[in-house]
Chain A
Amino acid sequence: MKADSNLERMLESGSFTVTGEIGPPKSCNGDVVRHHAKMLKGCCESFNLTDNQTAIVRLSSIAAGKILLEEGCEPNIQIVCRDRNRIAIQSDVLGAAALGIKNILCLSGDHQKFGNHPTSKNVYDIDSIQLIKILDGMRNGYFANGEEMRDEPPKILIGCAANPFADPFEFRVTRLEKKADAGADFCQTQCVLDLERFERWMEMVRARGLHKRIKILAGITPLKSAKVAKYMNNNVAGMMVSEEYINRLEHADDPKAEGINIAVEQIQHLKNIEGLAGVHIMAIAWEEIIPEICKRAGLNPRPQA
């Protein structure tokens, strides 16, 4: 075991794994995180805590992770390369590990243009693949400069993202392979809202045997309305929503309920895809729906690992 986290044990057990996601608030009100932790406790192996997602200033992912630990939930903190250089990131990794955080997800980060500080300077001292490699080095006892740690190295499970809906499509699998080479243990994909394309991507993943080297969790995002679905399809780079889902939401009497139905159906379908280790449920600003989705998709109660 690299980190002996809940998440790692479940992935290693071979059971279909479930992770969730909590967006920290735009305030110092830790009770918002605490509230979500209490509500979601036990329905997933671990919960991602986003790192200033869409470049909007929020309560830090590590601080939110600490609150989750206090509530008996397992955090998976996200680290983006946009805001910190290799010095700050390594320092945060040591700090997070000291607090008991065992899972870290490495991301490039959304460009600051999309956030609430578009005039800021970005960092990108390193990219997400280089970040994975640095973290892998750290857990083996080395800093990014090659210096050996004098004390115990941080025990961390390293995650990454993959986006089968971005381009160039053929290169997406190569990029996942590079992340596995760099040392990533698991990967959470962009929300799957086009099953056909996702399955083609998984075929390519299996053809290269990548599913045996890195655990893949498919991203699930319940949609609240046809309007949201269309917006994501047309305006968010690297997102695709199939016509079928847009139509279903458009014609539904209760679009929110239909959004949940779609998410549940997707999970049931994905359970049968060879090489898929589980799902990652990202209910954006709708965290309270995660338990219902898990229950209806037959994912709860969670087995012990």
Chain B
Amino acid sequence: MIIAERKPIDEILKFLNKHQKVLVLGCGGCVTVCLAGGETETGILHSQLTMARNKEGRPLDVIEKTVERQCDFEYLAGVRHLVKEVDAVLSLACGIGIQTCAEAFPEKLVWPGVNTKFLGVNLNVGEWAERCQACGHCVLDKTGGICPVARCSKSIFNGPCGGSQGGKCEVSPDTDCAWALIYDRLSRLGEVDSLREIMPVKDWSFSRDGGPRKLVREDLELESGQ
């Protein structure tokens, strides 16, 4: 899941400073699950914005709406009539939703309401952790299902480095050493000997380093007849 965090209210107020009427647009996908930009948070932000601007003596007219998924042009088409009414859109979706929104409404300013943090998992109430960096070439088969790209602070492939102590990373005592986790898990599974092999240099061209990525599946294109 994509994990996001609502931006501070002061930052959002600065974005909206020159507007009189805005659409606060929530998303029913990941940001709903991670409690950053779903229907509830959209309602809360609506009240916060209204109160803050009333206090300043220059009220802000706010419409709120939460769509199924903002990363889908189809769902955004459903709010086109609302977008027409406002000066700008404040999107509470992740970075993908915000950009899809901007692409769907080229004539309108679209402001980001959240910081998109990472691809991760919910560990506890109010606690999320990164698990994947979408590097495009999965190595989890070699590392016992624990990702060194996302979870090692140095993204090294032949760890652990000399900064691993007591299972923790040198960067912080709160951070598990990914390679200690990999070593422990493969030891438990009786597969630790596999770590004696040198993992070769990574082909980063599958990652962001190859430029913005695109996936085209011809089988699906053919099937759809388009």
Contacts and interface: CB of A to CB of B under 8 A. Distances in A.
A168 B183 contact: yes
Given A124-B155, A167-B180, A237-B170, A108 B161 contact: yes
B200 A130 contact: yes
A111 B154 contact: yes
A178 B156 CA distance: 14
Given A113-B171, A122-B154, A127-B157, A167 B164 contact: yes
A163 B202 CA distance: 25
A288 to B, nearest CB: 27
Interface stretch (A12-20, A169-177, A273-281): A169-177
Contacts of A178: 158, 196, 198
Given A178-B198, A238-B170, A171 B183 contact: yes
A166 interface: yes
B213 to A, nearest CB: 18
Contact of B163 (A110, A122, A127, A129): A110
Interface residues of B, number: 31
B216 interface: no
A167 B167 contact: yes
Given A124-B156, A167-B164, A190-B162, A144 B170 contact: no
A181 B163 contact: no
A126 interface: yes
Interface in A4-26: none
A18 B220 CA distance: 65
A161 interface: yes
Contacts of A162: 162
B160 interface: yes
B40 interface: no
Interface in B138-196: 153-171, 177, 180, 183-184, 195-196
A177 B195 CA distance: 11
Contact of A166 (B158, B162, B204): B162
Interface of A: 81-82, 86, 108-111, 113-114, 122, 124-130, 133-134, 144, 161-163, 165-168, 171, 174-175, 177-178, 181-182, 190, 237-238
Given A128-B156, A190-B162, A238-B163, 5 more contacts: A81-B154, A86-B201, A167-B177, A178-B158, A238-B165
23 contacts: A81-B154, A108-B154, A111-B153, A111-B163, A114-B170, A124-B154, A125-B202, A126-B202, A127-B157, A129-B198, A130-B158, A130-B199, A130-B201, A133-B198, A133-B201, A166-B161, A167-B164, A167-B166, A167-B177, A168-B184, A174-B196, A237-B163, A237-B170
* Closest 3 pairs (CB-CB, A-B): A163-B162, A237-B170, A127-B156
